[in-house]
Amino acid sequence: MSLYDKRRAETRRAASIFLAPVIILMLIYIAYPIYDSFNISFFRWNGITAGRAFIGIQNWLDLMRDSSFWASFKNNVVIMILSIVIQIPIGLALATFLDFGGKKLNVFKVIWFVPLLMSSVAVGFLFRYALATNGGLISTIFGWFGGGNIDLLGDPNRALLTVIMVICWQFIPFYMVYFMAAYTNISFDIYEASIIDGATRGQYFLNIALPLLTPAMKSAAILSMVGSLKYFDLIYVMTGGGPGTSTELMATYMYKQSFKNFNMGYGSTVACGMFILISLMALITMRLLNSGKED
Amino acid sequence: MDSVRDSKNKSTFAWAIAFVFALIWLAAAFLPFFFMVLNSFKEKFEMLVSGVFNLPESWYPTNYIEILTGTFWTFFFNSIIVVGISLILLLFISACASYPLARFKFALAKPLYGVIVACMSIPIHITLIPVFKMATYTGMYDSIWALIGPYIAFAIPISVFILTTFVGGIPLEIEESAEIDGCNKYRMFFSIILPLAKPGLSTIAIYNGVNMWNEFSFAYTLTQSAGKRTLPLAIWEFQGQYSMNTPMIMAVLTLTVMPMIIMFIVFQDKLVKGMTAGAVKG
């Protein structure tokens, strides 16, 4: 009995020593900041001077009525939906192509992968120039087919869609390698057996691979969803949220409020609102997807 | 016999269509990159005069020479230092954490693991103002040291997740026989778990290395002066000086992207594997 207790105490001590660095860092850089953001959201504070005024839930009331915030939330949702609808099928198609084609298609894999290696800042700047009205990539290609110059990022009606296309350009390779990994988890025997039984590759894909890939597609959808809702760098660099609020996102709005207008109290409120919305949507989606599993 | 040939024809036809789409995507993925590299070798106004896709009249290296003899290396070495230190510390502490989470039996193991993994979906923006505040209070604001803490902390969840799964997959027998020989938990970790976890460690090193190398939000918020910034932010410095000189901007972009491309060429398969393993969460 005492030996058992001694061993348990020893395990507990070892566990806390091994876990201490990770826990301390996460407390300092994740847990405390979350608490502090909620705390700051009840103040009016410019972030520079020490003086800050407690204003209760005023910031939160403002947030509820802030049409710019809700416009950016809407943009996030549009990006989320189109990202899932565009990136996952194309990523899956590319992975399927590579899976069927085997090693000889390596060139495709290598080049398709390149966008994923570039930083969002580089992608953002590159496309700012590539999408320029005069002398841009798309305008030039349009010109070959007899079209004129086209203003993709400056037109409020087109900007969001243009930005989404760039996001897809950057992240489709991610879903491609994701589904390539999922394919390697399907045993080769299954493929062989189905081909011997006379299935075409199309039948194999539709009736065998696709059902086996469903779990991977679900987690890809969750990844894409959470990613789209907290999206920041690329858009901040490429459009800065403009023109107007046409490509404004929750994160870019939060950044501008806090570090451009030095309205840190309200910026914290936006960050907290964003945190709450993302957590809620992630929880609900996971519930829905998991309840589907039990059927 | 006929039907077999039919289906074969049909499948080659389908394959041809797939191939055409594959080529279209190849162009889409490659053209922007090509645009960047090609135009980086042009003179200031050449791009406007001769068009975007024309080869440069002469491969003009001056843009590169100007950048490489300037502040570029400061940014580059700042990135090396930040990513290097962050990665080493991250690998060590997340390996430490994954060992008890995968192996020890104690009441908190499951909930703790759950909380750590759930932190993967936390947007960094909710921590941005408090972390900025901490950096100014501790005097670390506008130095590369301010970046290391947040970089490690936000890489912990995915790393602990991958490593715990990995350590859990190491056969128990080795540890059991070591325990019978009187090996305590600390020696067990350093002489058995850590060496056996190498493949898992290299996966998280690649995945987090790429992400840290390209990180933007914290670097942009916590540093200000050119000498203290990391490579992705180098572009701001040059953009101020050369805002009308598109080829110059393209040269800067090409140089900031090159280290990763070179890494990719050298470690191609490992890198793809690392990026994927990082993606497969649950």
Is residue A230 within 8 angstroms of chain B, CB to CB? yes
| φ, ψ dihedrals at B245, nearest 5° | -100, 80
A residues 139-198 closer than 8 Å to B (CB): 140, 169, 173-174, 177-178, 180-182
- Report CA dihedral (A184, A190, A192, A195) to the nearest 10 degrees: -120
Asked if residues B141 and B222 have their Cβ atoms less than 8 Å apart, the reply is: yes
A40 near B CB under 8 A: yes
Query: How close is the nearest chain A Cα to the Cα of B173, in Å?
Result: 19
Contact B281 A173 (CB under 8 A): no
Residue A74: its pLDDT value, please? 96
The answer to whether the Cβ–Cβ distance between A169 and B28 falls below 8 Å is yes
C-alpha distances (whole Å) from B127 to each of A265, B122, B123, B150, B221 are: 13, 9, 8, 9, 11
pLDDT along chain A (295 residues), means of 10: 81 92 96 96 86 89 94 95 94 90 83 89 91 80 78 87 94 90 82 83 84 87 90 92 90 95 94 95 86 54
Q: In whole angstroms, give the CA distance from residue A236 to residue B53.
A: 28
- Which of A12, A18, A218 to probe by mutation at the B interface, max B CB count within 10 Å? A18
Nearest residue of chain A to residue B90 (CA atoms): A22
B33 vs A: CB within 8 A: yes
Q: How far is A229 from chain B (nearest CA, A)?
A: 9
Instruction: Work out the minimum CA distance from A157 to partner chain B, whole angstroms.
Output: 23
* pLDDT mean for each 10 residues of chain B (282 residues): 51 82 90 89 76 74 86 93 97 95 89 91 93 93 94 95 90 87 89 90 89 94 91 86 84 91 83 67 40
Q: Residues 6 or more apart from A192 whose CB is under 8 A from it?
A: none
- Tell me how close the Cα of A26 comes to any Cα of chain B, in angstroms: 6
| Token representation of residue B115 | 């909380």
Q: How far is CA B152 from CA A38, B75, B117, B259, in A?
A: 23, 20, 15, 21
Closest CB from A8, A14, A117 relative to B185: A14
- Which residue among B25, B130, B150 sits closest to A37, beta carbon to beta carbon? B130
Contact B123 A119 (CB under 8 A): no
Q: Whose CA is closest to B256, among B220, B222, B219, B213?
A: B213
Task: Identify all chain A residues contacting B152, using CB atoms and an 8 Å cutoff.
Answer: 25, 29
Domain spans of chain A?
A: 2-40, 58-294
DSSP chain B: -HHHHHHHHHHHHHHHHHHHHHHHHHHHHHHHHHHHHHHTTS-TTHHHHH-SSSPPSS---HHHHHHHTTTHHHHHHHHHHHHHHHHHHHHHHHHHHHHHHHH---TTHHHHHHHHHHGGG--THHHHHHHHHHHHHTT-TTSTHHHHHHHHHHHHHHHHHHHHHHHHTS-HHHHHHHHHTT--HHHHIIIIIHHHTHHHHHHHHHHHHHHHHT--HHHHHH--SGGG--GGGHHHHHHHH-TT-HHHHHHHHHHHHHHHHHHHHHTHHHHHHHHHHHH---
The CA-atom distances, in angstroms, between B59 and each of A170, B37, B48, B72 are 28, 11, 16, 21
Partner residue opposite A117 with nearest CB, options B47, B261, B280: B261
Amino acid B10: pLDDT: 62
CA distance B162 to chain A (A): 15
SS3 (DSSP) at A53:
strand
Q: What is the DSSP string of A83-97?
A: HHHHHHHHHHHHHHH
Q: What is the mean pLDDT of chain B?
A: 86
Q: Is A181–B214 a contact, with Cβ atoms under 8 angstroms apart?
A: no
Chain A contact for B94 (CB, 8 A cutoff):
yes
Chain B residue with minimum CA distance to A217: B280
- B-chain CB neighbours of A223 within 8 Å are 279, 281
pLDDT value of position B99: 94
How would you class A96 by CB atoms within 10 Å of its CB: exposed for 0-12, middle for 13-18, buried for 19 or more?
buried
Residue A54 bridge partners (DSSP): A43
> pLDDT tens across B8-63, in order?
566 778 788 888 999 999 998 999 999 899 888 888 777 766 667 777 777 778 88
User: How close, in Å, is residue B124 to chain A by CA atoms?
Assistant: 8
CATH of domain A58-294: 1.10.3720.10
Check residue A1 and give its pLDDT.
59
Chain B 127-186, residues with CB within 8 Å of chain A CB atoms: 127-134, 149-150, 152-154, 156, 160, 185-186
CA distance A112 to B152: 29
| Torsion angle (degrees, nearest 10) of CA B257, A135, A153, B22 | -60
Q: Does B11 sit within 8 Å of A202, measured CB to CB?
A: yes
Sign of CA dihedral A93, A95, A100, A106: positive
Question: Minimal CA–CA distance to A237: which of A171, A166, A146, A142?
Answer: A166
pTM of the model: 0.90
Confidence (pLDDT) at B7: 55
Q: Are B230 and B84 in contact (CB under 8 A)?
A: no
| CB-CB contact of B229 with B123 (8 Å) | no
What would the pLDDT profile of B196-221 be if each residue is shown by its tens digit? 999 889 888 988 999 999 999 999 99
- CB < 8 Å to B108, chain A: 15
What per-residue confidence (pLDDT) applies to A295? 42
